[in-house]
Structure 1
Amino acid sequence: MANVLVTGGSGFLGSHTIAQLLTSGHTVTTTLRSMKRKADVERMLARAGAPGRERVSYFEADLGSDDGWEQAADGVDHVLHIASPFPGSRPKHENELIIPARDGALRVLRAARNAGVKRVVLTSSFAAVGYGHAPADRVFTEDDWTNVDGPGVAPYIKSKAVAERAAWDFIETEGQGMELVAINPVGIFGPVLGPDYSSSIRIIHAMLTGDMRAAPPIWTNTVDVRDVADLHIKAMTSPDAAGQRYLALAGEPVSFQQIALTLRSRLGEAAAKAPTRSAPAWLLRLLSAFTPQLRETVPQLGVVRRAANAKAREQLDWSPRSNEDAVVASADSLVRLGLLAD
């Protein structure tokens, strides 16, 4: 069994990954931006039913500072770099996202290399794969890269592409033989363990609470957080994964309207407020002129991005849950934990 450093242990994906590592018998070191979050992580691991929670060590380290990273990486065999800055709102300048994402990844890679770590698994994103291209009937694969200068590339999307590119460049020029694997998940759904969860789950939250009165004409790819955690661990241990990228998605894209209908069908009364109507694209474009939070969605209206998960399935024997199961698990957990009133 290995000693594994998981960055961002208090996050949605980080906590699920730690739980699976413990279940597999590994020892875990994890970083938190503040040690005040330690109790939150312990509660989430307990909620996940993770055994051996005494095998988790905690270090305070922030992606924006060098402090703490050398100590956190000391003595570990592998690093799963999951922590990533995510915007609460649109930044005034894109570099407010790009620089922390890029420099944070390099900071972790540098600490891992100096500690003699053999392999780092980097949580990148489909945002680094499938954006900035003209609409086309195509299927994106791991060979594709987002065109950061293309149309409709928001600062967050650009930050993920720039950060992953910088990580591969580091490995080539300064890695000193350290291996890198990139995992590129789409929208992450699945059971929440606490009040910290992915932005994708906020879609489910808005549907269940009635805040989303009509479903916009937006399509998304989905994947269950438990399957993303599993793919990280498979990528960490498989000899064939070194130097590879892996897209993490369940299957075909689904529309927000399809998600709402799935919730109504599978949850019954608990999803009674999920939208039954679709909002026309022209209306959302009109409203975006007066509603800043809608502007980010306008380039995505009516756009369907398809991607392939064959590489992860074939090379790593990965078998993800369905779109429907991922969406319903999200909703079930929000209801069960009483998070809909937040």
Structure 2
Amino acid sequence: MSTVLVSGANGFIAQHVVSQLLEKKYKVIGTVRTDAKGQHLAKNFSTPDFQYVIVSNLSLPGGFDEVFQQHPEIEYFLHVASPFNFSDVDVEENLLKPALAGTKEALSSAHKYGKNLKKLVVTSSYAAMGWTYLIDKSIPDDIYIDEDSWTDIPWDVAAKSNGFIAYVASKAHAEREVWNFRERENPKFELTVVNPTYVYGPQAFDSDVTEFMGETSEIINRITKLQPDETPRRERGMCIDVRDVAGAHIIAIEKDECNGKRLLLFNASFSEQNFLNLIHKFYPEQFKNVPIGEPETTEATLTKTFWGDIHNEKTREILKQDWYSHEQCVKDVLEQIVRVRGL
């Protein structure tokens, strides 16, 4: 039975990763920042095949050293943890530096002490691909984005920008470090990077359905609380079910075809009007106070996005996953919210 290290194991994506790993009979070591978070996970997973270790700050030098030294049995490392917020407060210190340092430390520790490490998979983001146009807010008519595309926002520009641009830049700079490390150090383990778009889907455990549920899950959560006189925002883009993102991480450690690849994950378009439509389709009584919006604009909100012409045919061919449909994904999110809140 192989052992997998999962960083940031209490995160939205990481909990699904851990759950699927355990279902496939892997042993899992998850890093968490506090003992309380570790105990919460251990209680939810409730199996001796899961254990947690505390890494209070992923950005500190040697943050993962002790984990690898104490657990030489680790064969796979899924580095899922990374700062994820769009705060405008000191973006260089709160977004750029932690994202880059966390990636550097994970790679360094794995290289120095991962005696039996075979593969390291890093969770990046679609944000690292093709978002250079954010700097001047001009989107080329012929923009084409695929697994070879890169966001190129200089560090000094990002450090003076808002939280969203800084977040996008942080993902690109952190991922660049992965491939630079591979070229520079020629590690004995293989590297793969997973680049999802917006990640939706149910929480791994009902106990994580809270008042605020993180940056992406919160979009649907917030819409379910809208009152009839409130207007939804105009957020839109591409998305993928969290369970498929978790599955892609596991395929990445199991299939050699993933070695050295960037896996671009998206399966559908979304808009807030689209979410409103699905809320009223699946749970009209439970959310009868939620505004209907303008259903006749749905098609325009889905197709008129600022994401560009995106292609992930190479990723789909490698993974060969049967992804959750967009409707099923949203329905499962709503079903969990209704169940937990007794609506």
What corresponds to 1:128 in structure 2?
128
Q: Return the alpha-carbon distance in structure 2 between the equivalents of residues 332 and 141 of structure 1.
A: 33
**Structure 1 residues 215 and 221, CA, compared in 2 at 3 Å: closer, same or farther?**
same
Letter of the 1:216 partner, please give it.
R
**Structure 1 residues 6 and 177, CA, compared in 2 at 3 Å: closer, same or farther?**
same
State the TM-score, normalized to the length of structure 1. 0.83
Look up the SS of the partner of 1:144 in the other structure. Answer: coil
Matched length: 311
1:1-342 paired onto structure 2 within 5 Å: 1-45=1-45, 53-61=47-55, 62-66=57-61, 69-73=64-68, 74-75=71-72, 76-87=74-85, 89-114=87-112, 115-116=114-115, 117-133=117-133, 134-135=138-139, 136-149=141-154, 154-192=165-203, 193=205, 194-195=208-209, 197-210=213-226, 213-251=230-268, 253-277=269-293, 303-338=306-341
Q: Return the alpha-carbon distance in structure 1 between the equivalents of residues 25 and 267 of structure 2.
A: 27
RMSD: 2.4
1:85-107 deviation per Cα after TM superposition (whole angstroms, max 9, x unaligned): 12363222434311100110110
CA contact (8 A) 2:227 2:291 kept: no
Cα distance, 1:238 vs structure 2: 0.6
Q: Return the alpha-carbon distance in structure 1 between the equivalents of residues 89 and 123 of structure 2.
A: 22
Q: Return the alpha-carbon distance in structure 2 between the equivalents of residues 8 and 302 of structure 1.
A: 31
Q: Return the alpha-carbon distance in structure 2 between the equivalents of residues 320 and 235 of structure 1.
A: 16
CA contact (8 A) 1:81 1:122 kept: yes
**Structure 1 residues 35 and 68, CA, compared in 2 at 3 Å: closer, same or farther?**
farther
CA contact (8 A) 2:78 2:120 kept: yes
Letter of the 1:161 partner, please give it.
A
**Structure 1 residues 21 and 254, CA, compared in 2 at 3 Å: closer, same or farther?**
same
**Structure 1 residues 195 and 119, CA, compared in 2 at 3 Å: closer, same or farther?**
same
Bigger drift between 241-250 and 205-214 goes to 205-214
CA contact (8 A) 1:59 1:68 kept: no
User: Percent identity over the alignment?
Assistant: 29
Q: Return the alpha-carbon distance in structure 1 between the equivalents of residues 245 and 146 of structure 2.
A: 17
**Structure 1 residues 273 and 205, CA, compared in 2 at 3 Å: closer, same or farther?**
farther
Q: Return the alpha-carbon distance in structure 1 between the equivalents of residues 119 and 307 of structure 2.
A: 34
Q: Return the alpha-carbon distance in structure 2 between the equivalents of residues 317 and 22 of structure 1.
A: 21
Q: Return the alpha-carbon distance in structure 2 between the equivalents of residues 138 and 45 of structure 1.
A: 44
State the TM-score, normalized to the length of structure 2. 0.83
Cα distance, 1:269 vs structure 2: 1.7
What corresponds to 1:49 in structure 2?
none
Structure 2: gaps spanning 5 or more residues: 295-303
Q: Return the alpha-carbon distance in structure 2 between the equivalents of residues 176 and 314 of structure 1.
A: 26
CA contact (8 A) 1:27 1:55 kept: yes
Q: Return the alpha-carbon distance in structure 2 between the equivalents of residues 275 and 6 of structure 1.
A: 40
Look up the SS of the partner of 1:277 in the other structure. Answer: coil
1:6-25 deviation per Cα after TM superposition (whole angstroms, max 9, x unaligned): 00111111111001000001
Look up the SS of the partner of 2:250 in the other structure. Answer: helix
Letter of the 1:329 partner, please give it.
D
Q: Return the alpha-carbon distance in structure 2 between the equivalents of residues 339 and 96 of structure 1.
A: 37
Cα distance, 1:211 vs structure 2: 6.5
Look up the SS of the partner of 2:260 in the other structure. Answer: coil
Letter of the 1:71 partner, please give it.
E
CA contact (8 A) 1:208 1:272 kept: no
Bigger drift between 26-35 and 320-329 goes to 320-329
Look up the SS of the partner of 1:54 in the other structure. Answer: coil
What corresponds to 1:284 in structure 2?
none
Letter of the 1:263 partner, please give it.
I
